[in-house]
């Protein structure tokens, strides 16, 4: 089911598309890369995305900043470092609904 309000559209996980901006947990997440897998006969959609309002998320404490780290990599002389600190995964099956910003 897709419904619309002036600023957002509600989409289920199967309807999300690359470039969509999803509002979740006080964040605006641009969907960058999709991966899927099967779980109990249902497709689970997992979108790796970029948090666009990182300063606001950090200031307001919407989520712990450690939750926004991507995979770690080793840097000689420095040690283990997060490749990125602005990553959030939007995931669910066709029963999970998301608020998606309408293009302006």
Model-wide pTM > 0.75: yes
Distances (CA, A) of 12 to 33, 63, 94, 95, 100: 17, 22, 5, 6, 10
Ordered mean pLDDT values, 10 residues apiece, the chain (104 residues):
71 97 96 95 95 94 84 73 82 96 86
Residue 10 burial (10 A CB sphere; 0-12, 13-18, 19+): middle
Question: What is the CATH class of 3-101?
Answer: mainly beta
- Each residue's pLDDT tens digit, 40-49: 999 999 999 9
């Amino acid at each position: 089911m897709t419904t619309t309000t002036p600023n957002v559209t509600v989409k289920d996980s199967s309807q999300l598309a690359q470039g969509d901006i999803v509002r979740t947990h006080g964040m605006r997440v641009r969907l960058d890369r999709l991966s899927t897998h099967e779980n109990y006969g249902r497709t689970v959609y997992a979108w790796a995305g970029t948090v666009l309002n990182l300063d606001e998320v950090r200031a307001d404490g919407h989520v712990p900043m450690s939750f926004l780290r991507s995979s770690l990599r080793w840097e000689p002389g420095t040690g283990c470092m997060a490749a990125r600190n602005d990553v959030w995964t939007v995931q669910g099956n066709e029963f999970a609904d998301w608020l998606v910003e309408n293009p302006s």
